[in-house]
Structure 1
C-alpha cells in the first residue's frame, strides 16, 4: 500500500522585513545576509498570530469536507507551543471544524517535530487505510533584536495531509535516524527566545547529515545518482548547501549540477520567509515541487530533517503522476505577492509587542491581520481564537 503526502498547505504572516534594510540598520554588509546566509526577506508575525493560528491557516487551504470526515488524527509539530499542558492540535481541531472522534497531539523535538509526526502518521494509516492524518509543522523563530541569530528568524507553517494512495508523493519505508545528547540550540522554559551555539550547531548539522547519509547508502545500496533532488531542513538557505557539498564529489559532474540546481529552486520560498523550524524542510520541499519546471513523476526526492539537541533523519519519497495538479501554486504565489513590507523600526515595534504574563486580560485588534484565523486576545489566562469564516 502506498502511503504519503496527499496535499500540502502553507501559510506565512502578511508582513515582512527586507534583509538588505535590516543589514544596513545593524551596520552589517547586506551581502552577509543575502549571500552569506542566503536570506532576502524575513516574515514578521504580528501579535495576532502564534504557532496555532499559523498552523490552522496553513491547514485551512487544503482541508475540504471529505477530508474533515476522514481525518482521525491531528499531529502538531512545534517548538513554540503556547501551553505547557494543552496541545495546540486541539485548538486547530476546533478551528478547522474536524469531527470529534479524532486523536490530537503535540509533538516536540526542536525542528524535527513534523518529521516525527509524519512517521507516526504513516504507521497510523498503515493500520487504518481509510484514515487521513493532518500533520502540521508551525513555528516562530525568535532570537531577539540585535542578536547573532536575528537574521535567521521567521514565521510560518506547513500542513501535510498523509493518506493511502497519495496524489503528490509516496513516502518510501527506508529511513535512517541518529540521536545524540548535545547542546547546540535550546530554549529554557523561562525564555521566549532561543539560545544557540551557532558554530557548533552548524558542525553538528553537517556531521549528522554525513552519518545518516552514509548509513542510508549502506542499507539501501542507493547513491546520489538515484535522487533527482535533495531537500534539507533550512534554518537559513545556505545551511543545506554546506551539507550537500560534503558529499557531492562522490557523484558525476552531471549529477552534481542537477542536484545543485534543484537545491537552488528548493530554497526560493525559504529565502523569502526565514526559519520556520519544524516546517522548514517541508517549505523547501514545497518550493521545489511548485517552482521546478522539469522534475517528472517517478522521481525520487531525498529529505534530511534535523532537530537540534539532536535528532537527524534521512528519508525519501517518489513523486506521483500529475503531482503538479494537486499543488496550490497560484494560491502561494498570491500569498507572497500580497504581503506588505514593514520598516525596520516597525518590525522592532511589532517584535516587542508580547502577550501579558501576569494574568491580565487583553483584547487584540484583528482587523489589521488579513489571516482568516487569528488570536483575538487573552481572557482569564485563556487564549481566544477567531475563525473569520464562521
Structure 2
C-alpha cells in the first residue's frame, strides 16, 4: 500500500522586504544577501497574522468536502506556538470547520517537527488507510533587528493532506535519523526572538547531513545516482547548496548537473519568502514540483534538520499526476501580489506585537485581504476571524 502527500498548499503574508533595501540600510553589500545567503526577499508579518491564521489560509487552498469528512488526525508543527498548553491544531480545527471527532496535536522540535509529523501521519495511515491526515508547518522566524540572524528571517505556512494512493509523493519506509543535544539555536520561553550561533549551526547542519546520508546509503544500499533531486531544509537557500556540494563527488557529471539544476528550482520560492522554520523543506518541495525538471516515478531524497539538534533523511517516489496536487497559479499569484515595504515600515511592523500583560487589543483587519485573520486579543484570548 502507498501512503504519502496527496495535496499541498502554501500561504505567506501580503508584505515583503527586498533584501537589497535591507543590505543598504545595514551598510552591507547586497551580494552578501543575494549570493552569500541566497535570499532575494523576506516575508514581513502584519499584526493580523500568526501561525494559526497562516496555516488556516494555506489549508483552505486545498481542502475539499471529502477531506473534511475523512481527516481525523491534525498535526501542527511549529516553533512559534501561541500557547504553552493548548495546541495550535485545535484553533485550526475550529477555524476550518473540521470534524470534532479528530485528534489535534502540536508537534515541536525546531525546524524538524514537520517531518516528525509527516512520519507519524504515514504510520497512522498504514493502520487506517481510509482516513486522511492534515499536517501543518507554520512559523515566523524572528532574530531581532540589526542582529546577525536578521537576514535569515521569514514567515509562512505549508499545509499537506496525507492519504493512501497519494497524488504527489509516496513515502518509502526507508529513513535514517540522528539526535544530539546541541546548543546551536534555541528560544527561551521568555523570549520572542531566537538565540543562534550561526556559524556553529551551519557546521552542525553539514555534519548531520553527511552522517545521516552515509548511514542511509550503507543501510539501504542506495547511491546518489538513484535520485533526480535532493531536497533540503533551507534556513537560507545557500545552506542547502553547501550541503549538496559535499556529496556531488559521489556521482557522475550528468547526475551532478541534474541534482544541481533541480536544487536551483527547489529554492526559487524560498528565495522570495525567507526562513519558514518547520515549513522550509516543504516549501522547497513545492518549488521543485512547480519549477523542476521531473518525471513521474522519480525518486526524491529529503534532508530535514532542526537545530538543537535532530535530523532525518528519507525518500519518496513522485507520482505521475503530481502537478494536480497543488495550485501553482494560485501560489505564484500570492507571491506576485504582495506589497513591498521599505525598511522603516518593516522595522515598525517587526516591533508591533500583541500585548503580553493580559490587556485587550483590537487589530485593524480591514487592510488584510486574507481569508483568516487575527482580530486581536480580548480577555487574554486570541480573536480569530474568517473574512468573506
Give the TM-score normalised by the residue count of structure 2. 0.99
**Whole-Å Cα distance in 1 between the matches of residues 158 and 323 of structure 2?**
17
- Residue 285 of structure 2: aligned partner: 285
Deviation at 1:325, TM superposition (A): 2.3
**Residues 115-194 of structure 1 aligned to structure 2 (within 5 Å):** 115-194=115-194
Aligned partner of 2:58 in structure 1 is 58
Give unpaired runs (5+ residues) of structure 1: none
Q: Distance in 1 between matches of 2:52 and 2:115?
A: 18
Give the structure 1 partner of residue 265 of structure 2. Answer: 265
Residue of structure 2 in register with 1:328 after alignment: 327
Size of the aligned set, in residue pairs, is 388
Q: Secondary structure at the match of 1:334?
A: helix
Partner of 1:22: 22
Q: Separation in 2 of the partners of 1:12 and 1:352?
A: 19
CA displacement, residues 26-64 of structure 1 (integer Å, 9 cap, x when unaligned) = 000000000000000000010111111111111111001
Q: How many angstroms does 1:310 deviate by?
A: 0.5
Query: Per-residue deviation at 1:337?
Result: 1.1
* Offset of residue 388 of structure 1: 1.1
Please give the alpha-carbon distance, in whole angstroms, between the structure 1 residues aligned to 2:307 and 2:167.
Answer: 31
2:308 matched residue in structure 1: 309
TM superposition shift of 1:327: 2.1
Find the counterpart in structure 1 of residue 356 from structure 2.
357
Any idea what the Cα deviations from partners look like across 1:173-201, whole Å, max 9, x if unmatched?
10000000010000000000000011110
In the TM superposition, residue 90 of structure 1 has moved relative to its aligned partner by 0.2
Give unmatched runs, 5+ long, in structure 2: none
**C-alpha displacement of 1:95:** 0.5
2:318 aligned with 1:298, yes or no? no
- 1:339-360 residue CA offsets vs partner (Å, 9 max, x unmatched): 0100111101101101111110
Runs of 4+ off more than 4 Å: none
CA distance in 2, matches of 1:252, 1:94: 51
Alpha-carbon distance, 1:321 to partner = 1.2
1:81 to partner: Cα distance: 0.2
Q: CA shift at 1:323, angstroms? A: 1.1
Query: Which residue in the other structure is 1:368 paired with?
Result: 367
User: Which residue pairs with 2:224 in the alignment?
Assistant: 224
Q: Deviations over 1:200-248 (max 9, x none)?
A: 1000000000000001001111111000001100000000111111111
1:387 is displaced (CA, Å) by 1.1
Aligned residue for 2:8? 8
Q: Is residue 62–residue 326 contact of structure 2 (8 Å, CA) maintained in 1?
A: no
